[in-house]
Structure 1
Amino acid sequence: MIIRPHTLKLKAHWRNHPVSSNPLWNATFRVGEADLEHMALEAGDLPESLHGYQLARSGPLDNQEMAENGFNGSTADRFRSAGRIGGFMREFVPTADVSPASGTDFVGATVVHLFENPDQVSGWMSDIFVKDFEDNVGESVGSGQQIVSVQKVETDGFYDESVGLYVLQGGPAGLLSSTVIDFRVGRLLGVAFVGSIGEHDRTQLATDMALALEKRMVQIALGI
């Protein structure tokens, strides 16, 4: 039997990771950073209320960029220590003819993060995602904005762990609200985000996006 170099690498890769009885979890160890782009939702995958939204940003999301756009004190080293390897995001906004009135959803986005193992995904959800938002209530988050409140929202229908937040922030132009759903698929973390003008909980819309994202992540991880 001839063992080729790439086979040796694959065997070594699997020796470094725990083998689970869950085939989906095991499949996520075959996922690399290059696969994440194919998981984040495209315009045609968005729920009906976001149809017609146009692509605003799309690309890899490394730990340095995460830190630069995170809360005060965020560092790339902190995120690396939490097991985060990399990610990919795709963000959509309404067309220019949509008036910025209360109730307008000004952004819808999905992100897929890759971690070293599933336990680190769980740790990120509780110790970084939820904790950082809760710790920054009342704090400035730049551009004259301040987080007013953070509330957990119910999340249903996901394959594994999930958590959601409804965040209200205020600034010179008034209130903005964000609804964010995080969920785990093995060593992958999926995120769906909806930003709205005014005080508007978008849990259902964010959940619809997250479930569509979860489906894509599972399909690509399993190669189906």
Structure 2
Amino acid sequence: MSTPRTDGPPARIALVVGADAADRALVAGLLRLTGWDVREAAGTRDALRLARRSDPDLVVTDLDGPAGEGPALLRRLRLVGCRAHLLAVTADADAQDRAAALEAGALACLPKPVHAGLLLGLLGRRASGPPASGAGDPSTEDVDAELMDRLQQLYATALPGRLTAISDGARTGDAAALARASATLAGTSAQLGHPEVAAVCRAIAQDARRGVLAHELVVELRTVAGA
């Protein structure tokens, strides 16, 4: 079995796996906000294909699917030579699934919705080496306030570009791009204490997935975001 990387520069390629697009967008958005190059997969087949192609440094997989599928994916990733650090997320997986994920090599099993500081703080503490003894369910009490301040600064810096991507998707009629961009901003906004921005972004994404370009909501978003 291959082991995670323990030397060299910080990991920068991440693969986020899960059937729910909104859940994926939340985690992917947080990682992109801090400089990760993120790929997304809706299921096991796509995840294995992307893992072979991109050789990720981090894989975050959702356990809230068919019984045993999440831990099985982690084991298969190792079998195909994936050396990434592995994380699992879940809203309601039972103790057996959580234990199976850890046994399959996950550094930890995080609760959903994923807390921004908890995820990034965990990566900062543990992703440079093997999991600490007893790793599994870290607490939000461990989150560094300085990290959250940095996330807010990164959010503010990235916001104009995120808004431009949403506006461009609506202007060019690219519903898929509009849905992706608005879902990503919805996830990070919800996590970092901007619920009004998150709500408008979710509405834009929902319409875009139905092929509706909600131009009036895009205008409203800029107002709500203070742009």
Q: Output the TM-score relative to the length of structure 2.
A: 0.27
Compare the two structures and name the one with the higher strand fraction: 1
Larger RCO, structures 1/2 (Cα 8 Å, 6+ apart): 1
Compare the two structures and name the one with the higher helix fraction: 2
Q: Output the TM-score relative to the length of structure 1.
A: 0.27
